[in-house]
Homo-oligomer: A and B are copies of this chain.
Amino acid sequence: MRAALRLFAAHGLEGTTVEQITEAADVGKGTFFNYFPTKEHILMAFGDTRLQKIRAALDEARTGDTPIWQVLRRLAHSLAEEASHSPGLLRSILVAPLTRQPVREFMAGKLEEGRGVLGEIFQLGQDRGELRSDLTTAHMARGFQQSVFGALVLWSLDARGDLLAWLDLWLEMFLGGLDPKELRSAKTSRGRN
Contact = CB atoms under 8 A, between A and B. Distances in A.
Contact of A186 (B111, B135, B170, B176): B176
A175 interface: yes
A99 B88 CA distance: 9
Nearest to A181: B185
- Oligomeric state, in copies: 2
Contact of A175 (B135, B146, B181, B186): B186
A99 to B, nearest CB: 6
Contacts of A107: 157
A99 B108 CA distance: 21
B99 A173 contact: no
Contact of A178 (B12, B98, B147, B173): B173
Given A132-B176, A176-B179, A182-B185, 7 more contacts: A91-B98, A98-B157, A111-B157, A142-B170, A179-B185, A179-B190, A181-B185
12 contacts: A91-B99, A108-B157, A111-B158, A139-B170, A143-B170, A143-B173, A148-B150, A173-B178, A176-B177, A176-B183, A179-B182, A181-B185
Interface of A: 12, 67, 69, 91-92, 94-95, 97-99, 104, 107-108, 111-112, 132, 135, 139-140, 142-143, 145-151, 153-154, 156-158, 166, 169-170, 172-179, 181-183, 185-186, 189-190, 192
